[in-house]
Amino acid sequence: MKVLSVNAGSSSLKFSLFEMPEEKELICGVFERIGIDNSFYSLKLNDQKIKKEISLADHKIAFEILINELINNNIISSLDEIKGIGHRVVQGGAYFKQSALASPDNMRIIEELASLAPLHNPPAITGVKAAMEVFKNATQTLVFDTAFHQTIKKENFLYSVPYKWYTDFGVRKYGFHGTSHKYVYSKVNKLIGNDDTKVITCHIGNGASITAIKNGKSINTSMGFTPNAGLMMGTRSGDIDPTIITYMLKNKTMTVEELENVLNKESGFLGISEFSSDSRDIEDGIESGNEKCILAQEMYVKRIVNYIAKYYVELGGCDAIVFTAGIGENSIKTRADVINKLYALGIKLDKEQNNVRGEERLISTIDSKIPVYVIPTNEELIIASDTYAMIK
């Protein structure tokens, strides 16, 4: 059975097509600058990369072009071969504890939740509606970043603000990157040969979150009410004293929207280094002696270490630590900096094993008290697997 995984942005459409249940990826790619000048799309097929410039007025046209590519490359012979389409949805609130069908009622709920994820839910809705127009006979599903974290208990997901903020406005920790944390947790269990585990998963990319998982359930996670909580990130501030917000509004002429933009798009690596939001550029800056890049890296690593230590205590020990996502999979330096600061937990880095990018590998020494792994994430496969399960 062929299942398509989709991640729609406001001007982009990322996709992967899988043969299920074999979990074989047939093709993947992304349409970019949808509705903008100079739009294009790129495909990866049989280890070959293809890029084409073409006008992309909207997401529906992107899907129609995708169908033509699938047919022209002999991946499908007709549209009806694609039985399911799974859509990534960032914010499912407290309504969805698992993936769900894209029914009218469920679509209405994610539209209502758009205010909690204004940059993510509306584009996802656009993607679902466009897919429904093109793939009229396929089962459409919604796979939520937040669903995996719905096992977190109230003492961990509530904030110490008036309780009515929770009941009346939904103010609580939701957590994100759930599909990624779920995927690498299942992979590390296979590596250590045990399902009854306590694992700390570190999804470290331009957006970043750390999750404590016990026996398959998320018990705490660093992101909160929005994805701008927890760790310092590429352009996001992460945790700050909330009074800073009111202080800056009183002392600097800016609107709430402008301040929100600063905290989401001008902070983190970019804000501290005043150089770049990209970890690779930060590392280059460190090599050249840029003091602000050095400071940004030190702050970044410190916050990752603090969350790992916190969750180690909360879990009552740990069977494994996993690094994943862009920086987690590819930054040899960041992994080393973090692990070397965890020596008090008996964790030891194998420098030779850590010299790896984008590959699954054990990077701690044999005598390390906690094994540390690099595991490339595959959120698209989780989306396809959940969609396949609902069809079956």
Domain positions in the chain: 2-144, 193-379
Give dist(CA 311, CA 328) in Å, integer.
18
Q: Whole-model pTM?
A: 0.90
2-144 and 193-379 agree in CATH topology:
yes
What distances in angstroms separate CA 116 from CA 103, 211, 262, one per listed residue? 20, 21, 18
What distances in angstroms separate CA 360 from CA 22, 30, 39, 330, 376, one per listed residue? 20, 24, 34, 11, 6
Which residues are annotated as catalytic?
Answer: 145
pLDDT in tens, the chain (392 residues): 999 999 988 788 899 999 999 999 999 999 988 888 888 999 998 888 989 888 988 889 999 999 999 999 999 988 889 999 999 998 888 889 999 999 999 999 988 888 777 777 888 888 899 999 889 899 999 999 999 999 999 999 999 999 999 999 999 999 999 999 999 999 999 999 888 899 999 999 988 999 999 999 999 999 999 889 999 999 999 999 999 999 999 887 788 989 989 998 899 999 999 999 999 999 999 999 999 999 999 999 999 999 999 999 999 999 999 999 999 999 999 999 999 999 999 999 999 999 999 999 999 999 999 999 999 999 999 999 999 999 98
| Residue 365: both structure tokens together | 């020494």
| CATH (residue range 2-144) | 3.30.420.40
pLDDT (0 to 100) of residue 125 = 87
Pairing of strands 198-204, 320-324: parallel
pLDDT (0 to 100) of residue 13 = 87
pLDDT (0 to 100) of residue 11 = 82
pLDDT (0 to 100) of residue 176 = 92
CATH homologous superfamily for the domain 193-379 = ATPase, nucleotide binding domain (3.30.420.40)
Where do runs of H (alpha helix) occur along the chain?
A: 59-72, 104-112, 121-134, 154-157, 163-169, 178-192, 243-251, 256-265, 268-273, 279-287, 291-315, 325-330, 332-340, 379-391
Kindly state the helix (H) or strand (E) to which residue 90 belongs, with its residue range: none
pLDDT (0 to 100) of residue 114 = 80
pLDDT (0 to 100) of residue 92 = 87
pLDDT (0 to 100) of residue 174 = 95
Kindly state the helix (H) or strand (E) to which residue 145 belongs, with its residue range: none
Looking at the chain, the number of H-run helices and the number of E-run strands are 14, 14
pLDDT (0 to 100) of residue 195 = 83
Pairing of strands 2-8, 12-19: antiparallel
